[in-house]
Amino acid sequence: MPRFSCVLWDLDGTIVDSAPGITSTLAWTFEQLGMPVPTAAQMLVWVGPPLLDSFRELAGLPEDEARAALAVYRERYRTIGVFDATVYAGVDALLGELHAAGVPLSLATSKPESLARAILEHEGLLGELDVITGASEDERRSAKADVVALALQRLRERGFDVSAPVLVGDREHDIEGAAVHGVPTIFAAWGYGSLAESAGAIAIARDPAELRTLLGLVG
């Protein structure tokens, strides 16, 4: 039997490699705003955490300008960048195996739910997850702790067992946000976070096959 009663999944850097679509849209956004375009390595830091926070903290924009920049980004990303993503090899099979085994699964991403749903539907994975939980469209709910809380609530409301949850994610904000609710995290080392960001995780999965074992699937 699986070790955990339910599994929460981050999206960017965990289920899909969405960096190409995000970074290309970011570069376009900076150009539209007349701002210097960060290097590819610098923009990779933006992938995962809430973008509104990054426009404020990384780009140094005040609140009103950060929200305006996010609006420019979203308009382009919704039509072009969102589909420039690829499912990591082996993750789709693992999601299918967990779903078939009856393990409750929820997305728990800081990406707005509508965009997350579009990616999962495009990749044929929407049906593998019982609950889709992400940021609200206005980003008032975007912190990972808030997303995790809602994911657990939605699973509970569906009658699923949330007594022993685990989150799979690739960034330190995944670990920190889950920990607020006492949820342990398995660090997905194939994602965008460095190993230094894995501090606080209960385990590190180097690939989906190792994650399968850590989740307690055997045979």
> Which residues are designated catalytic?
10
Q: What number of H helices and E strands is found in the chain? A: 9, 8
Tokens representing residue 202 in the block: 């209960």
Q: Which of 20, 67, 65 is nearest to 46 (CA)?
A: 20
